[in-house]
Structure 1
Amino acid sequence: MTRIKMIATDVDGTFLDQNRHYNQQRFAQQLQQLEAAGIRFVVASGNHLGHLRRVFAPTPAVQTFVAENGGLIVDHDQTLFADLIPTPTVHQIVRDILADQALRPRILRLSGAHGTYINRRDHPSDEAAQDYFFNNIVLVDDLTQVEDDIYKINGEWPNETIQHLAAQLNQRFPDQINAMASGFGSIDIVAAHMSKAIGLTQLAQSWGIAPAEIAAFGDNDNDRDMLAHVGLGVAMQNGNDSVKAVANLITPTDNNHDGVLNVIDAILAGEV
């Protein structure tokens, strides 16, 4: 059995329960055990860095983040890698999506180095959820006039159509973007060659860790490549079928019952 040297986890629907909580005391104890065993812990999420830091503030030992679906990698406040969508591409995609009624979302966001940009006329389907996920909102009159380093474009569509729409977007903009369903009626659009798998690989290589030495947890389409790429891909019991199809293991319990933490205990015990 290959020794695990890195554990990476998605956040929403994976590490957090449906109330967006996690067992802080148990996890803090696990982090000490992981450090003693020489196993690095990494958060791998589609969310922006500020939100992730806020989620894991109760456990400050968490200091490594693969944010923006791989577009931004930060370790102990040091940016290790940043992969941007070229500004002309961002503006072109925004114009084309907003001009096509078949593709136009309820709301479109640009996730940048200095803020998450939203047209002031747009309103999300869930204001409370937007306030939770985005603590750096900048309202603008025209997204095509935004000049910032953009890691990701994010939009909201009806939940039942997002897989189909993500495929449409990739066909519409070949070799320019990678669009993937990220759950809750949301699609994340990153640079063409970017994903959590690529970001995690870059980070692991910088630490001398091979893909076979990584365990990764996820529940949704934007986790699929990451789980397929690592030595131990773990799909959540509550995850979707596309993620379970590539996983080496499905958690015995779901995200509401410490699914990730239970498997981390098994890893530490050498049981998986």
Structure 2
Amino acid sequence: MTSIKMIATDVDGTFLTQQRTYNNTRFAQQLNQLAAQNIHFVVASGNHLGHLKDVFAATPAVQTFVAENGSLIVDHGKTLFETSLPMPVVHDVVTTLLTDDAVRPNVLRLSGAHGTYINRHDRPHDAVGQKYFFNNLVPVDDLLKVDDTIYKVNGEWPNGAIQDIAARLNQQFPGKIHATASGFGSIDIIAPHMNKATGLAQLAESWGITPNEIAAFGDNDNDREMLAHVGLGVAMKNGTQSVKDVAQLITPTDNDHDGVLDVIDRILTDQL
């Protein structure tokens, strides 16, 4: 029998196809098999909770979410852990991003407990994509006047620049933030000690599961810590090289060809 007791997966570029779909029937069958073997299934994403619930609405058995890159952990509707950015840090970061042309994003958002806040005059390059990822948008006149618990600051830049800009922001705010590329030209700015691995570790400890008993799937920079932390870190065939460098396994097929589900079958049948 497999030694894996928890499977965690990123969503976009990993579990979902490029058309933002997944094999509902096959996955539902796997969930039944996972439950029979007492293996927990966890969604670990940089996205906000409401979006993740929408994505997995077709398979309501999915009830555990490590959202906001680890800053919010919810299991069966109950918040287990949450870590927010201090508001003075949020203000400093927002002010820098809006006044320094070297790091100014095309679009800037604050992901909070009660909504995702965006300046009403900002126009994303992909309005359809924004509507898909952020179903809780709250247009405001001034991001510095937002009053909410803020889990992350999210910005959009030209895709080729995000690694350099993330590194620059981490240097500019040492010990105050953790900026990480999250795909699609986005950078997530979260609390300095937070990442998916930290969130997953909190959840696993509460369940009495060790890192060696966890398998995790990812494709992008914000998955690196999670894949390096667990016993079986699985990078997607279509993933970045930085993620592949820390993985123990690379999926034989990509996210458009059930890459995650194929490896889950191997875990279920103890063929790894």
Q: With structure 2 as the length reference, what TM-score do the two structures score?
A: 0.99
Partner of 1:69 in structure 2? 69
Q: Which runs of 5+ in 2 are unaligned?
A: none
Partner of 2:199 in structure 1? 199
d(CA) in 2 for partners of 1:200, 1:123: 34
Partner of 1:255 in structure 2? 255
d(CA) in 2 for partners of 1:20, 1:130: 14
Partner of 1:211 in structure 2? 211
| Equivalent residue pairs, number | 272
d(CA) in 1 for partners of 2:97, 2:134: 22
- Aligned-residue offset at 1:96: 1.2
d(CA) in 1 for partners of 2:235, 2:124: 29
Q: Would you say the 8 A contact 2:46–2:188 is kept in 1?
A: yes
* Aligned-partner SS, 1:65: strand
Partner of 2:136 in structure 1? 136
d(CA) in 1 for partners of 2:193, 2:146: 23
* Aligned-partner SS, 2:169: helix
Large movers: runs of 4+ above 3 Å? none
Partner of 2:104 in structure 1? 104
* Aligned-partner SS, 2:168: helix
The superposition leaves residues 76-98 of structure 1 with CA deviations (integer Å, 9 ceiling, x where unpaired) of: 00000000000111011101111
d(CA) in 2 for partners of 1:66, 1:143: 25
d(CA) in 2 for partners of 1:141, 1:91: 15
Partner of 1:8 in structure 2? 8
- Aligned-residue offset at 1:74: 0.1
Partner of 1:124 in structure 2? 124
d(CA) in 1 for partners of 2:214, 2:148: 33
Tell me which amino acid in the other structure corresponds to 2:227.
Answer: L
Tell me which amino acid in the other structure corresponds to 1:176.
Answer: K
Partner of 2:92 in structure 1? 92
The superposition leaves residues 57-115 of structure 1 with CA deviations (integer Å, 9 ceiling, x where unpaired) of: 00000000000000000000000000000011101110111110000000000000000
Q: Would you say the 8 A contact 1:2–1:212 is kept in 2?
A: no
Q: Would you say the 8 A contact 1:73–1:80 is kept in 2?
A: yes
Partner of 1:46 in structure 2? 46
The superposition leaves residues 13-44 of structure 1 with CA deviations (integer Å, 9 ceiling, x where unpaired) of: 00000100000000000000000001000000
Partner of 1:177 in structure 2? 177
Q: Would you say the 8 A contact 1:7–1:42 is kept in 2?
A: yes
Q: With structure 1 as the length reference, what TM-score do the two structures score?
A: 0.99
Tell me which amino acid in the other structure corresponds to 1:162.
Answer: I
d(CA) in 2 for partners of 1:85, 1:25: 39
Q: Would you say the 8 A contact 1:4–1:214 is kept in 2?
A: yes
d(CA) in 2 for partners of 1:62, 1:111: 22
Tell me which amino acid in the other structure corresponds to 2:129.
Answer: A
Q: Would you say the 8 A contact 2:2–2:268 is kept in 1?
A: no
d(CA) in 2 for partners of 1:267, 1:12: 21
d(CA) in 1 for partners of 2:254, 2:172: 36
Partner of 1:268 in structure 2? 268
- Aligned-residue offset at 1:2: 7.0
Q: Would you say the 8 A contact 1:217–1:233 is kept in 2?
A: yes
d(CA) in 1 for partners of 2:168, 2:51: 29
Instruction: Give the aligned CA root-mean-square deviation in angstroms.
Output: 0.8
Tell me which amino acid in the other structure corresponds to 2:261.
Answer: L
